[in-house]
Amino acid sequence: MDYGLAKRAVVRSLRSGYASRRDVCDAQPYLLRAARHFGEPTERPCPVCEKENVTNVTYVYGESLGRHAGQAKVTSELVAMAHDYDEFRVYVVEVCQGCSWNHLTVSYVLGNGPPDLAGQA
């Protein structure tokens, strides 16, 4: 699912004065740390401060992930995870490390899991 329309609505609300910068630049310290250590830089400027490019932070959630659920991952890890785990959801959040803007940009499902051994003797 692409959250581009929601993002544009938030930015439009900020620029028209219906929302304050404090309302939309509210990244938690954990998210900012994840952006610094696991984030993937982009060439997209922050829609709020326009001074820095946003960083994508990818999180994974799913029952089959065990201790990996809720962790930030780099994109290259997702391919192996998709083969090793049952279905799980991936969320990509863009973060500006300068002004603390953050917004969910896309979510999708990956995984086909390990081979089904239930029918084998």
Contact between residue 44 and residue 53 where contact means Cβ atoms under 8 Å apart: yes
121 has pLDDT over 70: no
CA atoms within 13 A on the CB side of 115: 3
* Mean pLDDT within 53-58: 98
Tell me: the pLDDT tens digits for 14-49? 999 999 999 999 999 999 999 999 999 999 999 999
Q: Is 60 left (phi over 0), alpha (psi -120 to 50) or beta?
A: beta
Contact between residue 75 and residue 55 where contact means Cβ atoms under 8 Å apart: no
The pLDDT assigned to 1 comes to 87
In this structure, what token pair is assigned to residue 46?
A: 């922050």
Task: Name the average pLDDT for the chain.
Answer: 91
Q: Quote the DSSP letter at residue 66.
A: G
Task: Of 48-52, 91-95, 112-116, give the lowest mean pLDDT range.
Answer: 112-116
* Mean pLDDT within 97-106: 96
